[in-house]
Amino acid sequence: MNIYVGNIDYRIQENQLKELFEQFGEVKSVSLITDKFTGKSKGFAFVDMPEDNQGTDAIERLNGYKLSTREITVSQARPQGETRGDNNFRRSSNGNGNGGSRNRY
């Protein structure tokens, strides 16, 4: 199971996340997402746990858990490219369907 972990304190390291999730079972990998230019944490990560039941338990027990200075958000990760809502609908502030951009003359 691929698990999304958000709202992570920027000082947290991958090994700390691994130790936290290992309380619930085997952790295959931890990927702390970093900025490609600065190398600093972006405040979220993905944890891969091979056993779905252990992943589900970790999600239920760790969502809202205070890690360092923040309450982390833990949920099952959505497949890459999947977004919320209907991708065919564009929000527009001016009703013309072009995502709210203004015509430039």
In DSSP notation, 30-96 reads EEEEE-TTT--EEEEEEEE-S-HHHHHHHHHHHTT-EETTEE-EEEEPPPTT--SS-TT----SSSS
When computed from its CA atoms, the radius of gyration of the chain, rounded to whole angstroms, is: 18
Report if residue 53 sits inside a domain: yes
For the chain, what percent of residues have pLDDT higher than 70?
77
Mean pLDDT (the chain, rounded): 86
Domain presence at residue 89: no
Q: Is the pLDDT of residue 68 over 50?
A: yes
Does the pLDDT at position 36 exceed 70? yes
Residue 43, domain member (yes or no):
yes
64: nearest Cα among 22, 7, 13: 7
CATH number of the domain bearing residue 12? 3.30.70.330
Domain with 55, as residue range(s), is 2-76
pTM exceeds 0.85, yes or no: no
Domain count, the chain: 1
pLDDT on residue 84: 56
